[in-house]
Amino acid sequence: MTSEHRAKGQGARHLDSVAVIGAGAWGTALAITAARAGRSVRLWAREQEVVASIRETRENTLFLPGHRIPEAVSVESDLAAVVAGADVVLIVVPSQFLRVTAVALRPHLGPGTPVVICAKGIERGSGLLLAAVIEEALPGHALAVLSGPTFAGEVAAGMPTAITVASADAAADPQTSLAAAVAVALGTQTFRPYVSDDVVGVEVGGAVKNVLAIACGIATGLGFGANTRAALITRGLDEIKGLAEALGGRRDTVTGLSGIGDLTLTCSSEQSRNMRYGMGLATGRSAAEMFGGRPVVVEGVENAQSVTDLARSLNVSMPICEAVRAVVLDGQPIADVMAALLTRPFRAEPHGMDLRLAH
């Protein structure tokens, strides 16, 4: 640990040994980041070919090709070996596999070892935010959530990036919170975590933005321009705020990195898998075509259902997310769904009453 890190982390506990569960693009980028920050890192990969590729070439050729993985990162396919003695465990599997992965981890985690959720989503069926899934699957473990505008490739390349890390104990004292300790453990000049105490607000932003990015991808694929994208981002942000607030999160969190930051990033770049998936829907190209047959996760697909199921149960209006669900899961024609979205009654801004004015 450098003296700079010690000064920044005064009062925070030291998390020197980091286990990363999940060696997709994001888990791999986070392992590289933790190694750059001076941590010793063990990375769990589900696929033997990923273990072999990293050991032989120091590169994750399946999920994050083109980025060298430092020697300080060791890779294993044995969960128990990866988490043994870890000071902190980062879980970076897709949202719908979080519970099963956490349950598998349970017998191997040291008592009270803190867990950091790095996936973005809401569990389908239960409608639970991922922190609540971890509370059920790994009771007694302190938890933080890491979320923000962070394309894995840019993080791995060392491009300046900012992200939010939230833990509930930051409300009492951000300085000694788990979020602060995680910020110190992962933070470098080019990877700057900002501490928050609003776990719910941070999680909702990350879960919903992927659904909205599919909408932006559809709009882009249809040939619409900057006006449409700005409308989707701004009205989408309002949907995030409504759901966050209904779940006890704060509207101001949604204006931070994990909300507007990630929404803007994901809706503006073809680096986003969700955006590209949406473009494929609008242009008649399959996911396999859009991703060259690579096994990537498109979180907005599963989450179109989990987000709207939860919103319906809370009576929160999320028309753009509902439109994505109608296209992606119900197979409704894009033209019909768009017509329905665009002929809704005019409304007051930002989160105002339905004015019931006729077209």
Ligand X SMILES: NC(=O)C1=CN([C@@H]2O[C@H](COP(=O)(O)OP(=O)(O)OC[C@H]3O[C@@H](n4cnc5c(N)ncnc54)[C@H](O)[C@@H]3O)[C@@H](O)[C@H]2O)C=CC1
Ligand Y SMILES: O=C(CO)COP(=O)(O)O
Catalytic site positions = 209
Nearest Cα to 50, choosing from 26, 34, 28, 67?
A: 28
112 is in an annotated binding site: no
Does residue 150 interact with ligand X by CB under 6 A?
yes
Distance between start and end Cα atoms, the chain: 63
Tally the residues of the chain.
359
Contact string (CB under 6 A) for ligand Y, positions 80-119, x = contact: ----------------------------------------
Does residue 220 interact with ligand Y by CB under 6 A?
no
Strands 88-91, 73-76: pairing kind: unpaired
Nearest Cα to 310, choosing from 95, 148, 135?
A: 95
320 binds, among ligand Y, ligand X, none (CB under 5 to 8 A by kind): none
* Residue 47 to residues 22, 62, 81, 299, Cα–Cα distance (Å): 10, 9, 16, 20
Which residue in 53, 167, 196, 274 binds ligand Y (CB under 6 A)? 274
Does residue 297 interact with ligand X by CB under 6 A?
yes
CB 307 within 8 A of CB 129: no
12 or 243: CB nearest ligand Y: 243
CB 82 within 8 A of CB 44: yes
Site for ligand Y in 285-314 (CB under 6 A): 299
Strands 143-147, 161-166: pairing kind: antiparallel
Does residue 93 interact with ligand X by CB under 6 A?
yes
Helix residue spans in 19-93 (DSSP H): 25-36, 48-57, 79-83
Taking contact as CB under 6 A, which single stretch among the options 67-75, 90-98, 227-235, 269-277 is the one that binds ligand Y? 269-277
121 or 261: CB nearest ligand X: 121
97 binds, among ligand Y, ligand X, none (CB under 5 to 8 A by kind): ligand X
Residue type, 96: Q
| Distance, CA of 224 to CA of 228 (rounded, Å) | 6
Give the residue ranges of the annotated binding site for substrate: 120, 273-274
Query: Which residues are near ligand Y by CB under 6 A?
Result: 120, 149-151, 210, 213, 262, 265-266, 272-274, 299
Residues of the shown chain interacting with ligand X in the complex, contacts defined by CB under 6 A = 22-27, 46-47, 63, 92-95, 97, 101, 118-121, 150-152, 296-297, 299
Binding residues: 22-27, 46, 97, 120, 148, 150, 152, 209, 262, 272-274, 297, 299
